[in-house]
Amino acid sequence: MISKCKLSDLPAGAEAILEAIELPEEEARHLMILGFLPGHRIEVGLSAPGGDPRVYRVDGSEVALRRETAKHLETMPLVGRVLETE
Partner 1 sequence: MKLSSAECHTPAGPPRAFSPRTRLVAIVGPPNAGKSTLFNRLTGLHQKVANYPGVTVEHRMGRLKARYIDTGIVHHVELVDLPGIYSLNARSEDERVTRDVLAGLMPGVPRPDAVLLILDSTNLGRQLMLAAPVLATELPTMVLLNMSDDLARRGGVLNVPELSKKLGAPVALVTASTGKGFDEIYDFLNAQLAPPRPIQLPILQDVPKTRKWAAQMSLASGYVAPAPTKWTRRLDKIFLHPVAGPVIFLTVVLALFQSIFTLAKPLMDGIAALVSGSGDLLKAVLPESVFRDLLVEGVWGGVGTVITFLPQILLLFLFIGFLEDSGYLARAALIADRMATILIAPLMTCSARLPIYVLIIAAFIPDKHVIGPLLGMRAIAMLSLYILGFLAAVATARLLKSSILRSERTPFVLEMPPYRWPKPSQLAMRLIDRGKVFLHRAGTLILTVAVVLWILLHVPTHNGKAPEIEHSIAGQVGHFIEPAIKPIGLDWKFGIGLISSLAARETIVGTLGTIYGTEGKETNGKLQEAVRKDLSPAGAAALLIFFAFALQCMSTIAVVRRETGGWKWPAIQFSYMLVLAYVGAFAAYHVVTWLS
d(CA 38, CA 31): 10
Closest approach of Cβ 5 to partner 1, in Å? 20
Q: Taking CA 37 as the corner, what is the angle to CA 31 and CA 83, rounded to the nearest 5 degrees?
A: 100
16 or 54, CB closer to partner 1?
A: 54
Cross-strand partners of 54: 47, 65
Please list the helix, strand and coil fractions of the chain in percent, rounded to the nearest 5, in that order: 20, 35, 45
Closest approach of Cβ 85 to partner 1, in Å? 7
Which position among 2, 49, 80, 82 is part of the footprint of partner 1 (CB under 8 A)?
49
Q: Which residues bind partner 1 (CB under 8 A)?
A: 23, 26-27, 29-35, 37-39, 45-49, 52-53, 55, 59-66, 68-69, 85-86
